[in-house]
Amino acid sequence: MPGTCEKIVKWKPADMNSIDFGVTASRPDLGIYKLLTREHKLYDFIVLDEKLEIDSKNDDLVLECVWEPTM
pLDDT by residue (tens digit) across 25-65?
Answer: 888 788 888 999 888 899 999 998 877 766 555 556 888 88
The answer to whether residue 14 scores a pLDDT higher than 90 is no
How many alpha carbons fall within 13 Å on the CB side of residue 10? 5
What is the rounded CA–CA span in Å between residue 41 and residue 9?
Answer: 23
pLDDT of residue 51: 73
The confidence score (pLDDT) of residue 3 equals 64
Any domain includes 46: yes
Residue ranges making up the domain that contains 52? 17-65
Note whether residue 30 is domain-resident.
yes
Question: Which is higher by pLDDT, 23 or 56?
Answer: 23
Q: Is residue 56 part of a domain?
A: yes
Residue 22 lies in a domain: yes
Domain membership of residue 9 (yes or no) is: no
How many other CB atoms are there within 10 angstroms of residue 34's CB atom? 17
Our count of domains for the chain comes to: 1
| 10 in a structural domain | no
